[in-house]
Amino acid sequence: MEESIEIVLEKLLHVTKDVAKISNEANQCLNVLLAKYDPFRCLAVVVPLLVSDDEKTLVVGINCLTKLVGRLSEEELMNQLPTFLPALFDAFNNQSPDVRKTVVFCLVDIYIMLGKAFVPYLEGLNSTQLRLVTIYANRISQARSGAPIDSNQ
């Protein structure tokens, strides 16, 4: 399966929007692929989904992105930011609250991983979005480590 991971990933991503029972099974398979295979190959399939107009596709794509960024080193993540941040920021303005919520949690995970080094990248957000991401990042960081992000770096 290693040789055709991109094809398998694309098919699973497509099926996650189908019938609930199939969708759940596809999501489980998707989680295994995202956890075990080359994150850069997976990113190559997931990042194009972030420009979709379909709400379900966006939510699935952003959730996959969130799982993948957690597998990258800080340096790798910093290098990959330009490939997906513009699309993520666009999705933050989506009409769907589910899409916006998924974007927040993805940005929060990135912020927690990168700390203050991520702040300059957040300039693309409006003040309300920035405040939301910062508040959640500090709460989650404090819950995990006992210290807010501001004192981690």
Dump the DSSP string for 26-85: HHHHHHHHHHHS-HHHHHHHHGGGGG-S-HHHHHHHHHHHHHHHTTS-HHHHHHHHHHHH
Q: Which domains does the chain have, with CATH numbers?
A: 2-151 (1.25.10.10)
Residue 17 has pLDDT above 80, yes or no: no
The rounded mean pLDDT for the chain is: 88
On the question of pLDDT at 9 being above 60, the answer is yes
DSSP string, 73-117: -HHHHHHHHHHHHHHHHHHHT-S-HHHHHHHHHHHHHHHHHHGGG
- Is it the case that residue 126 has pLDDT exceeding 80? yes
Hey, how many other C-beta atoms are within 10 angstroms of the C-beta on 44? 14
Q: Which residues contact 109 (CB under 8 A, 6 or more apart)?
A: 66, 69, 70
pLDDT tens across 74-99, in order? 999 999 999 999 999 999 999 999 99
pLDDT value for 144 = 79
| One-letter amino acid of 20 | A
Q: Could you tell me the pLDDT band of residue 20, with boundaries at 50, 70 and 90?
A: low
The answer to whether residue 153 scores a pLDDT higher than 60 is: no
Question: Of how many residues is the chain composed?
Answer: 153
